[in-house]
């Protein structure tokens, strides 16, 4: 597999590892999202100003308002964070 294919498979595996422990097998509950963030993106949570910021992030992830985070919504989070990290200052 190429590096990109491996990365895609890794993202799918991470989502599947945390999804369905409490709710549906193909979505993340708020508790599952929090666990995923604590384990996989601990720096993001440490950088949050408050628990309210984390709760707002979780609410904002649920685009369709069903109270769960599906794979597409999860990928928006990962993609957004990746874009922010990639926007580092460029060398001239």
Place of tokens 């990365």: 7
pTM, rounded to two decimals: 0.79
Q: What is the pLDDT tens value at each position of the chain, 92 positions in all?
A: 999 999 999 999 999 999 988 878 999 998 898 899 889 988 876 766 667 777 777 777 778 888 899 999 999 988 887 887 777 655 55
- pLDDT for res 4: 96
End-to-end CA distance of the chain: 35
Measured CA to CA, the distance from residue 77 to residue 81 in angstroms comes to 6
């Amino acid at each position: 597999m190429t590096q990109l294919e491996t990365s895609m498979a890794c993202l799918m595996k991470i989502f599947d590892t945390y999804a369905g422990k409490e709710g549906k097998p193909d979505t993340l509950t708020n508790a599952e999202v929090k666990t995923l963030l604590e384990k996989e993106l601990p720096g993001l949570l440490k950088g949050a100003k408050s628990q309210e910021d984390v709760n707002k992030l979780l609410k904002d992830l649920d685009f369709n308002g069903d109270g769960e985070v599906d794979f597409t919504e999860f990928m928006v989070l990962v993609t957004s964070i990746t874009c922010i990290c990639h926007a580092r200052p460029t060398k001239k």
